[in-house]
């Protein structure tokens, strides 16, 4: 019972935080909300028996990736003007159409999941099982992920270095 309650609280927090994150004018504020949302999702992971995923969500998502955002935002040094401009752009005329589209999509997805029934198991899937699966049947995926990361590394290095060089 506690788990269910906790889930609904976490879910609510995640949704609200995400909505807030999407609508802030200030990037840092939005980012903080996003981190909150991620943490709430991490709670949900924990509740549905994926503690390892929860840990990764916090460490990598909330910890590493979001911090990357923070760094960049700070580097760019966006001021109050930017915020004002962003605020001006958040008009109903701009978001009305996209909202309709999003709602349509949501309705369709809802229709698709409406037939799904049954609970999730409370039995935790341990990190060991994940690890075994990862380096067992999914080893090819790991290698592909490694390649992808390498590509990301090279790409960001290239882009970032040119940025710094030009600055000088």
Partner 1 sequence: MEGLNIPLNHILLVSTLLFSIGMLGLMIRRNIIFILMSLEVMLNAAALAFVAAGAHWGQPDGQIIFMLILTVAAAEVAVGLGLVLQVQRRFKTLDMDSANRMRG
Partner 2 sequence: MGDMIWLVPLIPMLSSILLMLGSGSLPRVIIGLLGVCSVGAAAVLTLLVGLDFLANPQPFQMTLWTWMQVGNFSPGIAFYFDGLTLVMMSVITGVGFLIHLFSTEFMEEDVSYARYFAYLNMFVAAMLVLVMADNLLLLYLGWEGVGVCSYLLVGFWYQNSANGQAARKAFVVTRIGDTAMALGLLLLFTQLGTLDIQAMMGVANEQWQVGDTLPLIACLLLLGGAVGKSAQLPLHTWLPDAMAGPTPVSALIHAATMVTAGVYLIARTNGLFLLAPTAMMIVALIGLATSLMAAFTALMQSDIKRILAYSTISQIGYMFLALGVGAWTAGIFHLMTHAFFKALLFLGSGAIIHYLHHEHDIFKMGGLRSKMPVTFWSFMIGSAALAALPMTSGFFSKDQILLQAYLQPDAGPWLWLGGLLGALLTAIYSFRLVFVVFFGEAKTQPDGDTGWRMALPLVVLCGLAMVGGYFIIPVAEVFPVASGEHPANWVEYVSISVPLMGLLLSYLIFHSGQLNVDKLVNSSLGQWLRRFWHSGWGIDWLYDRIFVRPYYRLSGIMVNEPIDAIYGLIVAINQTFNHWLAESQTGRMRWYIASMVFGLILVLTLALQISAEAL
Please report, as residue ranges, which positions from 95 to 124 form the binding site for partner 2 (by CB under 8 A): 97-98, 101-102, 104-105, 108, 111-112
Q: Which does 61 bind (CB under 5 to 8 A by kind): partner 2, partner 1, none?
A: partner 1
Q: Give the binding-site size for partner 2 (rule: CB under 8 A).
A: 9
- Kindly give, in sequence order, each residue whose CB lies less than 8 Å from that of residue 45, ignoring residues fewer than 6 positions away: 51, 53, 54, 57
Q: Which does 158 bind (CB under 5 to 8 A by kind): partner 1, partner 2, none?
A: partner 1
Residue 80 or 98: which CB sits closer to partner 1?
Answer: 98
Least Cβ distance, residue 20 to partner 2 (angstroms): 21
Q: Within 13 Å of residue 23, how many CA atoms lie on the same side as its CB?
A: 11
Distance of CA 74 to the CA centre of its chain: 20
Q: Which does 49 bind (CB under 5 to 8 A by kind): partner 2, partner 1, none?
A: partner 1
Least Cβ distance, residue 149 to partner 1 (angstroms): 6
Least Cβ distance, residue 97 to partner 2 (angstroms): 7
Nearest Cα neighbor of 126 from 61, 55, 73, 62 is 55
Separation between Cα atoms, residue 112 and residue 7, nearest integer Å: 22
Q: Within 13 Å of residue 112, how many CA atoms lie on the same side as its CB?
A: 6
Least Cβ distance, residue 80 to partner 1 (angstroms): 14
Q: How distant, in Å, are the alpha carbons of 18, 21, 63, 152 from that of 92?
A: 19, 17, 34, 37
Binding of partner 2 at residue 12 (CB under 8 A)?
Answer: no
Residues of this chain that bind partner 2 (CB under 8 A)? 97-98, 101-102, 104-105, 108, 111-112
């Amino acid at each position: 019972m506690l788990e269910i309650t906790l889930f609904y609280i976490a879910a609510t927090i995640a949704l609200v935080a995400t909505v807030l994150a999407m609508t802030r004018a200030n990037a840092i504020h939005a980012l903080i909300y996003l981190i909150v949302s991620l943490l709430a999702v991490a709670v949900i992971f924990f509740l549905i028996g994926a503690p390892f995923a929860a840990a990764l969500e916090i460490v990598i998502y909330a910890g590493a990736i979001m911090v990357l955002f923070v760094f960049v935002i700070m580097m760019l040094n966006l001021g109050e003007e930017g915020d004002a401009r962003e605020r001006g752009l958040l008009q109903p005329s701009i978001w009305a159409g996209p909202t309709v589209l999003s709602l349509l999509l949501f309705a369709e997805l809802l229709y698709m999941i409406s037939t799904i029934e049954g609970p999730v198991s409370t039995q935790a899937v341990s990190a060991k099982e994940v690890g075994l699966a990862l380096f067992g049947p999914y080893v090819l995926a790991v290698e592909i992920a490694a390649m992808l990361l390498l590509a990301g590394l090279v790409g960001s290095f290239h882009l970032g270095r040119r940025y710094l060089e030009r600055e000088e």
